[in-house]
């Protein structure tokens, strides 16, 4: 019994000691340096849990935005009427610095027929730009400025975008200065050189206005995922369309840029067929049409043939087959394995260059 009485006495003494300490702190908070009435009350009665930081993309923007530039392209328009002076018109756009050598990606429609192209960095520096080359199919152009130590946009070689990814569009809309808009990837496109339409680009709802074209589309980590291109348009002016904008996927844009730098243009292989159907049982694409004077016609390929292998590459979709052909160097001979009326045959096809 004495033992339990001793324990009870000890706990009682400790309790009184704690109550006395709390009372002293409330009455005289100055006993602890840096502790005032407000902080004491907060720590005692509201807890010390820190407030959660708000969700922000500031870090992503800060590491990528220095590599997004404003582009001003000037065109001299000569009036055919006698005595009238030439008129200068300026178009707005944006661009992305892709490497330290001064190569910049932008849209072709931003600098088309320009007599003078100027690039304004976010640091305030202005450089004249040289047009290295362009690609009509993807509406991309490559510029070069003679400068060093330029900021470069963060890139990931195997970058893949998924529907639902958060994206940020950086550009110079309406010459208001660098602006960021936010949205998500609404639909994804393809990354091969056979891209020729809206359906094969990235679709997103981050706003693109005049001046945004050619700017960067980044993810929430600040990595480049595409080059902002344009908004969806239709011939019906009464149809109000909102939230449908397009960007060229990064992997495709990078392929186009490398070819333009190396060749001055994009070189695509051409077979000369039309196909839209994939035969799931035979695992190949169905030839719907053969163009006259094409490599396919010369090789004896016929309408209705099912191509199930090109060289050692199996065909898992129509788009993958078109990309294989488009990315084959001209004058390369490929072996096509074909099912024709139940029989397996082979055809040697010499791919030629697709003319722009």
Token code pair at residue 348:
């040697």
Question: How many Cβ atoms sit within 10 Å of the Cβ of residue 198?
Answer: 15
Catalytic positions, please? 109, 139, 213
**Separation between Cα atoms, residue 203 and residue 163, nearest integer Å:** 9
* CB-based contacts of 223, cutoff 8 Å, min separation 6: 64, 154, 155, 156, 159
For residue 7, which phi and psi values (nearest 5 degrees)?
A: -65, -45
**Separation between Cα atoms, residue 282 and residue 278, nearest integer Å:** 9
């Amino acid at each position: 019994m004495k033992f339990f009485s001793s324990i009870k006495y000890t706990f009682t003494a400790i309790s009184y000691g704690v109550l006395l300490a709390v009372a002293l702190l409330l009455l005289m908070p100055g006993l602890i340096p840096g502790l005032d009435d407000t902080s004491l009350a907060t720590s005692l009665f509201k807890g010390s849990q820190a407030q959660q930081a708000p969700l922000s993309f500031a870090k992503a923007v800060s590491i990528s935005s220095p590599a997004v530039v404003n582009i001003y392209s000037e065109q001299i328009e000569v009036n055919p009427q006698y005595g009238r002076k030439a008129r200068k018109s300026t178009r707005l756009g944006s661009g992305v610095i892709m490497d330290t050598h001064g190569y910049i990606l932008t849209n072709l429609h931003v600098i088309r027929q320009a007599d003078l192209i100027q690039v304004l960095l976010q640091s305030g520096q202005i450089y004249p730009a040289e047009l290295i080359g362009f690609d009509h199919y993807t509406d991309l152009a490559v510029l070069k400025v003679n400068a060093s130590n330029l900021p470069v946009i963060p890139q990931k070689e195997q970058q893949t975008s998924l529907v639902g990814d958060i994206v940020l569009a950086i550009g110079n809309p309406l010459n208001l200065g660098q602006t960021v808009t936010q949205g998500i990837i609404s639909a994804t496109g393809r990354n091969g050189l056979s891209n020729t339409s809206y359906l094969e680009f990235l679709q997103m709802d981050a706003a693109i206005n005049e001046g945004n074209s050619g700017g960067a589309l980044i993810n929430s980590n600040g990595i480049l995922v595409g080059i902002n291109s344009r908004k969806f348009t239709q011939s019906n002016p009464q149809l109000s369309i909102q939230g449908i904008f397009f960007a060229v996927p990064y992997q495709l844009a990078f392929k186009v840029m490398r070819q333009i730098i190396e060749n001055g243009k994009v070189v695509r292989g051409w077979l000369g067929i039309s196909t839209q159907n994939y035969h799931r049982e035979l695992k190949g694409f169905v030839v719907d049409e053969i163009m006259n004077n094409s490599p396919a016609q010369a090789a004896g390929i016929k309408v209705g043939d099912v191509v199930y292998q090109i060289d050692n590459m199996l065909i898992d979709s129509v788009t993958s087959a078109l990309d294989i052909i488009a990315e084959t160097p001209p004058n390369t001979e490929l072996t096509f394995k074909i099912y024709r009326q139940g029989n397996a045959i082979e055809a040697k096809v010499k791919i030629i260059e697709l003319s722009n």
